[in-house]
Amino acid sequence: MTDVARAAGVSSATVSYVLSGKRPVADETRQAVEEAVRRLGFTLNPVARSLRTGRSTFVALIVPDIANPFYAHLAGALQDQLRAHGYHVVVSNTAARRETEEDLLREVVGQRFAGVVMTPFRLDRDAFKDLRRAGVPAVVSADVEFSDVDLVMPDSTAAVQRALALLAASGRRRVGVIAGPEDATGGDPRLERIKDAAAAAGLSIPKDLVVPGEHTRRAGVLGFERLMAARLRPDAVMCVNDVTAVGVMDGAEQAGVEIPADIAVIGHDDIDFASLVRPRLTTISYPARQVGRSAARLLLQQMDGRASCRVERVVADLVVRSST
């Protein structure tokens, strides 16, 4: 520990705070300590901890769509933070199926994982009770609240308001939405925020222009087809994530509809490829790596016996590119 403190140019107490998560430490200081830890190959001994707690060194990240690059970045940041503490992150895909979500949570308890970070899709809000009873630290990254866990939640209200104001300012009038599925836990908060912001910007979202989807590229293609079959077509589409927006682009290309001339498209997340597709995608940027870091911090604090059921907000932003 003294070596780490010397290498990082901080006090031993600070090193201890960073490793234990017992007190907040400035980002720069934390990074210097983590860098020194990595350089020196120093780790809190996870095997000793594992023997004491009977838990494995694995932390499970459970996600609805492993092919969505958003989660690769979340996983990367989570791993970067947890590695210094001797934990390995493993990612598991639920394909947004409730049964798989329940199965995986059960297995995580049964196999004594060190912790779990999850983006639930169709789980009950109290699905984490058993986990808590079994003493498994858990953090949820989601748009809706779940009981008995720490939460990392996006704060995208302002960004969505700016997005709808942008559409109004560029003369769009009728907005379609490729939303989430109707049976997702807690409804569809992204859709609600879009509706509120549209009303504030004086834009209409007719009922037949709200199409449910599974947050997948395929859902974007199918959703676009339904929008084009509407009595009055939209001149803008908001999508609940970028993968869906990419599907909308596929659909538009097949149908010979020009983006943004005929229709504007806005996504959510800002995955890497949002800036690579043509036209480049305007999107609500939601910082995956920051979500991963927050989840890691909350998880480490729980492992350390700190209180749970906190909510941490991560602010989203609007990134304007050429699809609007």
Question: Least distance (Å) from a second copy to the CB of residue 271?
Answer: 10
d(Cα 78, Cα 22) in Å, to the nearest integer? Answer: 18
Check binding of 261 to a second copy (CB under 8 A): no
Query: Least distance (Å) from a second copy to the CB of residue 67?
Result: 4
Question: Which bin fits 69, alpha (ψ -120 to 50), beta or left (φ > 0)?
Answer: alpha
DSSP for residue 281: P
Contact region with a second copy (CB under 8 A), list: 74-82, 125-133, 201-209, 257-265: 74-82
Q: Draw the binding track, 274-293, toward a second copy (x: CB under 8 A; -: no contact).
A: --xxx---------------
* DSSP one-letter string for 117-183: EE--SS--TTTTHHHHHTT--EEEESSS--TTSEEEEEE-HHHHHHHHHHHHHTT--BEEEE---TT
Q: Which of 16, 29, 76, 109: binder of a second copy (CB under 8 A)?
A: 76
User: Could you say which residues in the range 205-244 bind a second copy, by CB under 8 A?
Assistant: 217
Give the interface segment with a second copy, choosing from 83-91, 173-181, 193-201, 206-214 (CB under 8 A).
Answer: 83-91
Q: CA 100, CA 236: separation in Å to the nearest integer?
A: 35
In the set 249, 252, 263, 314, which binds a second copy (CB under 8 A)?
249
DSSP letter, residue 176: E
Minimum CB separation of residue 93 from a second copy in Å reads 6
**Contact residues for a second copy (CB under 8 A)?**
56-58, 60, 66-67, 69, 72-73, 75-76, 79, 83, 88-93, 100, 103-104, 107, 111, 217, 246, 249, 272-273, 276-278
